[in-house]
């Protein structure tokens, strides 16, 4: 039977599942967890080569790494993904919900099918993946979940309506799941600001945007990694959403 403790969670020797773990922020988190001593299961949808390349880097750090494909646009795949990861590595005690789309739409233009597609991937899949994670976690083991969300749930994007609403739901889910799964599983989130250039944009684009931030710089993935690792390790934080945004929440949206 699980006994709550204030001892920091030791990542070394644990098994972690990272969705969208082959690209961008997900890749950085995968490699950071492997460097911290975790064996990693890298979820991908279609980027098998990138996933295997990331797995090779994790193995170079001396850890086990496995990959698996699932379309998280179908929330029912959550249980299957947990089964795949468990079969490859053993019980999964760290879950990072990083996979997400970033569709361009507005309240005026959104169609029902687009709405469902965005919410299935960005909100429903983390919900049901966390449900499957909790059900599969051995009763004597503590677990940690970190959801990757967005600071713009507070200052919404004008042209990413369905995404923003879905990420706002992920914020609420983080708090609700933290309460539902305590004390054995802690659930937190990291809300991203100006971290990497969006698809189709270059570094100069985000550096220009960064001039309007209090910290006047682009974050890159290192601050996201640091916040995520800290939330996983800290035994007395749950239901928290940590903003890694260079202070953008302190200024009015343009």
Structural fold of domain 15-245 = Rossmann fold (3.40.50)
What is the predicted pLDDT for the residue at 43? 98
Of the candidates 183, 174, 93, the residue with the CA atom closest to the CA atom of residue 137? 93
Q: Going along the chain, which residue ranges are E strands?
A: 15-18, 39-44, 65-69, 94-97, 143-150, 185-192, 241-244
What is the predicted pLDDT for the residue at 226? 98
What is the predicted pLDDT for the residue at 106? 96
- With H, G, I as helix, E, B as strand and everything else as coil, classify residue 16: strand
What is the predicted pLDDT for the residue at 3? 76
Tell me: the pLDDT tens digits for 138-189?
A: 999 999 999 999 999 999 999 999 999 999 999 999 999 999 999 999 999 9
Do 149 and 192 contact (CB within 8 A), yes or no? yes
| Whether the predicted model's global pTM rises above the 0.85 cut | yes
Catalytic residue among 44, 157, 163, 205: 163
How far is residue 68's CA from residue 85's CA, in Å, rounded to a whole number? 8
What stretches in the chain show pLDDT beneath 70? 1, 252-254
What is the predicted pLDDT for the residue at 252? 64
What is the predicted pLDDT for the residue at 254? 47
What is the predicted pLDDT for the residue at 199? 81
**Tokens of residue 226, six digits:** 């640091």
Do 133 and 180 contact (CB within 8 A), yes or no? no
205 labelled catalytic? no
């Amino acid at each position: 039977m699980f006994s709550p403790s204030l001892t920091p969670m030791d990542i070394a020797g644990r098994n972690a599942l990272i969705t969208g773990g082959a690209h961008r922020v997900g890749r950085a988190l995968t490699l950071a967890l492997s460097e911290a001593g975790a064996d990693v299961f890298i979820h991908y949808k279609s980027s098998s080569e990138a996933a295997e390349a990331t797995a090779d880097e994790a193995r170079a750090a001396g850890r086990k790494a496995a990959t698996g494909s699932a379309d998280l646009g179908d929330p029912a795949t959550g249980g299957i993904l947990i089964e795949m990861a468990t079969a490859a590595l053993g019980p999964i005690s760290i879950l990072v919900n990083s996979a997400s789309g970033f569709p361009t739409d507005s309240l005026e233009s959104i169609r029902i099918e687009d709405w469902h597609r965005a919410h299935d991937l960005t909100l429903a899949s983390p919900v049901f993946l966390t449900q499957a994670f909790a059900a599969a976690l051995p009763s004597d083991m503590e677990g940690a979940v970190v959801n990757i969300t967005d600071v713009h749930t507070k200052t919404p994007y004008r042209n990413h309506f369905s995404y923003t609403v879905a990420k706002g739901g992920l914020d609420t889910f983080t708090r609700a799941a933290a309460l539902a799964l305590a004390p054995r599983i802690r659930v937190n989130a990291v809300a991203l600001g100006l971290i990497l250039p969006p698809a189709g944009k270059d570094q100069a684009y985000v550096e220009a945007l960064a001039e309007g931030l209090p910290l006047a710089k682009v974050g890159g993935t290192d601050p996201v990694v640091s916040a995520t690792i800290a939330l996983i390790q800290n035994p007395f934080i749950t239901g928290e959403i940590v903003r890694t945004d260079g202070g953008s929440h302190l200024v009015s949206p343009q």
